[in-house]
Amino acid sequence: MPEAKIGIIGGSGLYEMDGLTDVQDVQVDTPFGKPSDAIMVGKLEGQAIAFLPRHGRGHRISPTNLPVRANIHALKSLGVEWIVSVSSAGSLKDNIHPLDLVIPDQIIDRTKSRVNSFFEEPDAPVVHVGFADPYCPLLSQIVYEAAAQTKGAVHKGGTYVVMEGPLFSTRAESNLYRSWGASVIGMTTLPEAKLAREAEICYTTIACVTDFDCWHETEESVTVDMIIGNLLRNVDRAKAIVRKAAGALPIERTCVCATALRDAIITSHDLIPPEAKERLRLLIGKYVQ
């Protein structure tokens, strides 16, 4: 299989990655099933990149039904250490406008029906990974600096509310999240960020703002048409940021993500069944023999 240190997860509107050379479509199978689609591996700015369209080509898979464990595991199996995810989002603040970008630094989890961990099966070891800072600070800074070199506004930091969907929020919910001081709302980035941390992969999100959700009194309420129109205008910018960031990543990782599992596995290693060890080998193999 080809290898890549950088993974890109494309959200709505971002189903292909232009500018890749030496491209191979790789079908990956994992102990958690098949990922959303074939992974496109190629070269960008001299670096190997693995690109995965989150919802599959043709946007077939809803946020709730995404095979997120397979997606993260598949990227890990290709050698990915850094994931830049691109997600569409609604603004919850007056000063964050449609077509702005936000590189969030916090998350509020309002999902209800998702698998959140690689360690949920009854035979899996009990694992508690630190998640106080859900996005990699190092990668977020690099992506922010790359974004600041492109045309248009970018906001550094902010809280991303992840809702279950597939319907958009009610006005009362939207106002509640505003009262919490949150910046943007969307339906992805979780459980991706949690699974990436468990897989010791650095993870950040470029939230592409498409609308003012439904709280804004002078703007129309959000529709799919509005989102797609603004997304397509944002996709080229997101691609340019990925190209710039790819060339700026350090060789060695010094952030906490790289060793997130080291002190997190509580279960006595000799009590982990062999089948669970085998299923989780790519994740825990370096700590559990």
Q: Is 136 in the site for Zn ion (CB under 5 A)?
A: yes
Question: Which CB, 115 or 255, lies closer to Zn ion?
Answer: 255
Question: Which CB, 70 or 199, lies closer to Zn ion?
Answer: 199
- Within 13 Å, how many C-alpha atoms sit on residue 253's CB side? 20
Q: What torsion, rounded to 10 degrees, do the Cα atoms 164, 59, 195, 28 define? A: 150
Shortest spacing between CB 203 and Zn ion, in angstroms = 8
Question: Which CB, 82 or 168, lies closer to Zn ion?
Answer: 82
Options 20, 107, 202, 283; binder of Zn ion; rule CB under 5 A: 202
Shortest spacing between CB 266 and Zn ion, in angstroms = 23
Enumerate residues 217-256 that contact Zn ion by CB under 5 A: 255
Binding window for Zn ion (CB under 5 A); candidates: 90-98, 105-113, 197-205, 208-216: 197-205
Active-site position among 25, 211, 225, 270:
211
What tokens does 261 get? 């599992």
The answer to whether residue 211 is catalytic is yes
Active-site position among 213, 225, 263, 270:
213
Q: Which one, of 4, 53, 44, 38, lies nearest residue 20 by Cα?
A: 44
Question: Which CB, 50 or 272, lies closer to Zn ion?
Answer: 50
264 and 130 in contact (C-beta within 8 Å)? yes
Number of residues that bind Zn ion (CB under 5 A): 4
Q: Is 103 in the site for Zn ion (CB under 5 A)?
A: no
What tokens does 97 get? 């406008």
Q: Is 257 in the site for Zn ion (CB under 5 A)?
A: yes
Sign of torsion over alpha carbons 218, 221, 226, 227: positive
The SS3 assignment for 194 reads: helix
Q: Is 233 left (phi over 0), alpha (psi -120 to 50) or beta?
A: alpha
Question: First and final CA of the chain: distance in angstroms?
Answer: 25
Catalytic sites, residue numbers: 211, 213
Binding site for Zn ion (CB under 5 A): 136, 202, 255, 257
